[in-house]
Structures are given as C-alpha cells and as structure tokens.
Amino acid sequence: MKGVVAIAAISIAAILACSTVVMANPPIIEPVQYEQYCESQKVAGTGVIDVSTSIVDKRLALEYYNVLAGDGDFELDSEHALSENASKLMREVGNKTMPVNLFENTKMTYSGDVPLVGGKFLNSKSFYGGIGANFQEVFSVTQMEKDQQTFFASTDPAGHTKNATLAAQLRNMSPVHLVGMNTKNTFNGTWGTDSAWHKIFYKDIKDHQQFTGNFETEKLIKFHENPVPEPVRSPCAGIDC
C-alpha cells in the first residue's frame, strides 16, 4: 500500500513539474447592455454639510464609498462618472487620456469650528474578478483645501469593438487593472490613508500614513496589474514526462 501511495505521489509531482503556470488576471468582459452613472455639482455656502456617495457594481468588481459631514464655510466642485463600458468614459489621469470605469474629481475648501469629517474607500474585489487592491482616506479637519482625482479600471474597453485597429488602440490606452488616487491637500487637523494589495500565498502590500497638525501633502496611490499572462517555461519542456 505504501508503494502505491509513493508511486502516486511521484506521478503527481511529475505532472506538476511539467505543467506551465501563468499568473494573470484577465480584464473583465464588458456587458453588452452596459450601464452608466454621472453626477456633478458646485456648492458654495455656510452651514451643515452632509454628503455621501456609494457605488457597488459586481460586474466591475467595484466597491466605492465617499462621505463628508461638517458645519462651516464650504465650497465644492466635484464629479462622479461611472461606465461599465470603459471606452465611453475617457478621462485624463495624470498626463494621459485613458478609458476608465470610474472617475472622481474633487476640488474642495472648508473652514469651521466644527471639524469636517470625511472618508473615502475604493476596492477592486478579487471575488468578482478584480485584483484585491484597495485604499481608504480618512480625515477630521477644521480647515482644508483639496484637489483630488480617484480612478478605477477593470474591463476590456475593446470587448465589443469590431474595428481591429480601434480595438488595438483602446487596449493600448487601457490601464486595466488600475486602482488609484492622486491628491493635493492643505489642512489643519488629522488626515491619513491606508492602502493594501493582497493575494493569498502570493502578495501582501500594506501602507499606512497619518498626520495631525498643520500640513501640506501631495500623494499618489496606484495599484496596477497588467492582465497579460506571463509564460513560464516548463522545466520538462521537450521531455516526455
């Protein structure tokens, strides 16, 4: 019996040794009947502030939350744009125009005796085809000036394009998979970020920052995974295992 088990173990080991392993998370296929969401606003005034946005889309592996609450002098110029078809949402991220599934842009100022409390969370859920990366921002401030972009891409923007040349251009521009935030802040109070990227038995990245006092900050958080499979040469290539 032990001999049979040993032979079986050797056979399994041989099969594993000869197999080609690739690590790739392909872009999510866009639905034909895609959906979009757009919201933009400009607000200026003094008083009670209560703002919240929540976007969860399993077809994009997307989870996003953004909240603000305070009482003081407030100005806000913001945009939220969501498209399950990324080629319909071309935005400038950094210095490049690219197709994305979620784009958020915020310009904000606040001053008040009551702290402005806020938070933001963006997650690419691996269970639904994302890469398992996320970040969150939290703050409690009596004064703040903010200029911020948040961006997310998870789908193949050329999935329904019949023109081969256009499809190649879109895929060349596509940042899939991408989770990120670019922000410039001046604040008096507490502001911080936590970001993480985890793959079981493979990857574990964590970053934490928090500042309390009177600060100016510039921060870029970006998680990116190229969805192209990485070929791994079998150690038994050319040998009949």
What are the residue ranges spanned by the domains of the chain?
A: 1-25+234-241, 28-224
10 Å Cβ neighbour count for 20? 11
Token pair belonging to 232: 């791994």
Bridge-based pairing state of the strands 102-124 and 96-99? unpaired
Separation CA 134–CA 131 (nearest Å):
9
19/132: higher pLDDT: 132
Token pair belonging to 204: 């574990």
Which of the residue ranges 14-23, 85-94, 129-138, 183-192 would you say has the lowest mean pLDDT?
A: 14-23
Give the mean pLDDT of 44-68: 97
Separation CA 241–CA 238 (nearest Å):
9
Residue 7: per-residue pLDDT: 40
CA nearest neighbour of 132 among 56, 223, 27, 57: 223
With 0-12 / 13-18 / 19 or more C-beta atoms within 10 angstroms meaning exposed / middle / buried, residue 146 is: buried
Token pair belonging to 170: 């879109």
Residue 227: per-residue pLDDT: 83
Token pair belonging to 177: 């998979």
pLDDT in tens, 134-173: 999 999 999 999 999 999 999 999 888 888 899 899 999 9
Asked if the model's pLDDT at residue 60 lies above 70, the reply is: yes
Q: Give me the chain's average pLDDT, please.
A: 89
Residue 103: per-residue pLDDT: 98
Task: Scan for tokens 């009949």, then name that residue.
Answer: 240
Give the mean pLDDT of 223-238: 76
End-to-end Cα, the chain, rounded Å = 24
